[in-house]
Structure formats: C-alpha cells, structure tokens
Amino acid sequence: MLRAENITAGYGSRTILEDISFEIADGERFIVLGESGCGKSTLMKAIIGLNPPTEGKIFFKDEEIVHPLPEESDFYKKIGILYQSSALLNSLSLEENVMLPIIMHYPDFNTSIARDMALEKLAMVNLYAHRDKFPQELSGGMKKRGALARALVMDPDIIFFDEPQAGLDPVTARDLDVLFIKLNEQLKTTYFIVTHELLSIRRTAQKVLMLADKKVLFYGTFEEAMKSDVFKVKRFFNVDKYSK
C-alpha cells in the first residue's frame, strides 16, 4: 500500500529524520512510535505533503508520489487524515463536517448522495443520532469519532492518524481503539498511526516502526518488537521495569 525509501526530512536547515525506509501492507495497522520529539509526526507530514521530504522516495500503491502533487493526482482522494485535535470546523454541524471532503474534491457531486455517504459513516462510529450537533456540543471522544467518520467518508485506501488518543481518558481511549480495530477489520482500510500511547499500541499494533536519534531503531511486527533485545525498544515496552 505504501513504501518509503531513504526518506530524509526536517524543517529548514534542521534535519529531524535521516534515511527512513519501510513498507506497509494492504489493510495493515502500522504504528509509528518513539519518544516525544523523535520525528513521528514529521514522518507523517513528509508522506502526505504537509512538509515534503528533502531526500528519498514515497510510493503509494507502487506509484511514486512527488510533492507538490500535480493537478491530475488523486492521492488526496484516496487517503484520510485524523488530526490530533480532530480539526472539526465549529461553524459546521457534524454531518456537514463529514460531508466536507466530498464537497471539496467533487464540487458538482449530488448533495443528497454526499449526505447519505456522511450519515452512513456517522452510523459506523455510533454518531448518527448526533449528526445535527456542532463540535462545541460534543465530548472529546465524540469529536474523535466524528473526525474518523470524516476520514472514512470517501472510502480511502489508507488513513493517517496523528496521536488519536491525545486528550482522552483511559476508558474513552480504549473504546476508540476497539472501534479502530473493528472498522479496520470490516473495511480493510490500511492504518498509519502515529502514537506514543503504550496501551493503545499493545491493543492495535500489527507492524511497528520505532524512531530514535533521527533513524529507524526498530522495524518489524509487534510480536518481534516485544522480543527485541534492543535496549530502547525493551525500555519502551517495559517502562516500569527499566526505569528503576
């Protein structure tokens, strides 16, 4: 689904990541983890074009993606993004927020069909009854689910999640993870999840990419990560044991 080859990225003259390579299989839940400041969000921004890489190549379904994208590219029509802050627009109802990607990408699309598509996704995240509410009327967990519905509305091939559990209590975070897994298994959508939340990683991870000191520290399955002899990997997954 997605392949990165020797990605280098940063901000101005400051390099955050060097020579990052990995690939993500179709339908996989891929977790990018590491300590705060290691470059997790920088990697996501490099891939989706918010801060393009200075070196390396990105392939989406075997097609090279070069930012800025040419006008004819449909890359943004095939991906969804769930931002850390949810990024719902306060002036729009939940239903209108979820419809927004369709309207932006297809201005002449039938509004009635777009609404039906939005309501279908709101039902999937258990928010159909709240479709007419505005973001300020929703709890933190409801905003995240609304943002997930928006990310799903165009049936993307891959969804990028930026710290999806940020700001949530443990129970809400767990329920959100359960929903993520359910929809991943149901829709077969690939997940690229940036997070440092250990409990969430344990629940959702299939493949793991751990970043440290600008490089890839570990890349493999979750089971392989749990058995790794690399000290920083062991410490991350067994923080209580190795922090004494």
Residues in CB range of 97: below 8 A, 6 or more apart = 88, 89, 135, 146, 150
Min mean pLDDT across 60-74, 94-108, 116-130, 228-242 is at: 228-242
pLDDT of residue 136: 94
What residues make up the domain containing 140?
83-155
How many CB atoms are located within 10 Å of the residue 74 CB?
9
- My answer on whether 73 and 161 are in the same domain is yes
Q: Are 105 and 78 in contact (CB under 8 A)?
A: no
Residues 13 and 94 in one domain: no
Question: Does residue 240 share a domain with residue 165?
Answer: yes
Q: Rounded distance, CA 123 to CA 98, Å?
A: 12
Same domain, 45 and 89: no
Same domain for 71 and 87? no
pTM of the predicted model as reported, rounded to 2 decimal places: 0.90
Burial of 146 (0-12, 13-18, 19+ CB in 10 A): buried
Mark whether 70 and 87 lie in a shared domain: no
Helix axis angle for 140-152 and 94-105, nearest 10°, is 30
Q: How much of the chain, in percent, has pLDDT values that exceed 90? A: 67
What's the confidence (pLDDT) of residue 239? 58
Please identify, among 102, 131, 155, the residue that sits at the C-terminal boundary of a domain. 155
DSSP label of 156 = -
Question: Does the pLDDT value for residue 57 go beyond 80?
Answer: yes
- Give me the mean pLDDT over the 31-41 stretch: 87
Q: Which two tokens stand for residue 217?
A: 């520290």
Residue ending a domain, choose from 109, 124, 155: 155
